[in-house]
Structure 1
Amino acid sequence: MKVLHIIKSLGRGGAEMLLPETLALHQTQQIEFHYIYFLPWKNQMVAAIEANGGKVMCMPASNYLQLIAKASAIAAYIKQHQIQVVHCHLPWAGIVGRIAGRMAKVPVIYTEHNKWERYHKATYWLNKITFPWQQLVV
């Protein structure tokens, strides 16, 4: 099985720290893990992920419009690498991941790491609009 995790950054945040920690616990002989992130200056977790066998790619985006514009490139990545499940973390990665997953016709899982009422109004509404395009919320 091939799984793609999508997250805004791989800096030292709570959700970001969970990715290498949980990767170390998985059976990587049976599951191939890929990671896409968007903020190249927040890359502190890249080495730990790669050391545990994860494949990491940065698709630089300096604002939210650029991030959403990456949906077609992510869909192409999904198809090229034959990704079977997309797992998104946090709202903006969830928004673009749902769009890309829909384009590539693969199931999307979303992990919520915050409370919706803390989101900016644009984030809230884009998250709400794309929310039905996923198969599972954790």
Structure 2
Amino acid sequence: MKKVKLQNEHSKILILIKGLGLGGAERLIVDSLPYLNREQFDYEFAYMLPWKDFLVPTITKAGFPVHCLGMQKTWHFPLMQRRLQNLIRERRFDLIHADLPVTGIWARLMGRRFGIPVIYTEHNLQERYHPLTRRANALTFGWNECVLAVSEEVAASINRFGLGRKTKVKTLLNGVPVEQVRTGGISPPETPARLARSCQSNCATAR
């Protein structure tokens, strides 16, 4: 899915996640909102599980569109997939950024189908995944444009399974130290959001 960009047109980024409840990955997304580059990118969010929506008001209040893909039960997957495909066709995203393995696998399949680069954030050790999840993750891992590992331990696990040879892997700390940034303890360029934004910029502007 190729498109011609107009001068000064923002690149469109879809951030895809399983749910927007009070989990660690979800909290990381919310803490990153103030540091997203809205001068260059338009961000939208999509999540699978409708009952995991605690953080949706926070994201929409910050001015970001949020789309629920409505997977109530496992057998709703085909309907959810059609919803995501329609969303991608309608919004014409330049990049998909996925968190967590199930949405990461799904994002890579969609990216492959529509010709959209995918950035994936890996939060866990490969050893902790169900064998089927780990296998599907490994089979599609090379379709990532870039992988962000949330710790050195996670990056080491990626490499133990040989996945680091399939794509670029960068390590970042898990979480944005918001209070330190606010008080001047560290500067925004040192935050994980800046590293993720750099990967997003490199992928989106290459299209």
TM over 0.5: yes
Give distance in 1, aligned partners of 2:111 and 2:81: 9
Are 2:140 and 1:119 aligned? no
Q: Which amino acid aligns with 1:112?
A: E
Q: Choose which of 9, 28, 46 in structure 2 pairs with 1:36.
A: 46
Residue 110 (structure 1) aligns with: 120
Contact preservation (8 Å) 1:34, 1:56: yes
Residue 22 (structure 1) aligns with: 32
Residue 69 of structure 1, CA deviation: 6.4
Residue 66 (structure 2) aligns with: 56
Q: 1:64 to 1:99 in 2, by over 3 A?
A: farther
Contact preservation (8 Å) 1:38, 1:58: yes
Q: Specify the structure having the higher radius of gyration (Cα).
A: 2
State TM-score, norm by structure 2.
0.62
Contact preservation (8 Å) 1:71, 1:99: no
Q: 1:6 to 1:27 in 2, by over 3 A?
A: same
Query: What are structure 2's unaligned runs of at least 5 residues?
Result: 1-10, 149-207
State TM-score, norm by structure 1.
0.91
Residue 63 of structure 1, CA deviation: 4.8
Alignment partner of 1:111: what SS? strand
Q: 1:83 to 1:47 in 2, by over 3 A?
A: same
What RMSD over aligned residues (CA atoms) do the two structures have, in Å?
1.7
Alignment partner of 1:24: what SS? helix
Structure 1 moving runs of 4+ over 6 Å: none
- Higher RCO (Cα < 8 Å, 6 or more apart): 1
Give the number of equivalent residue pairs: 138
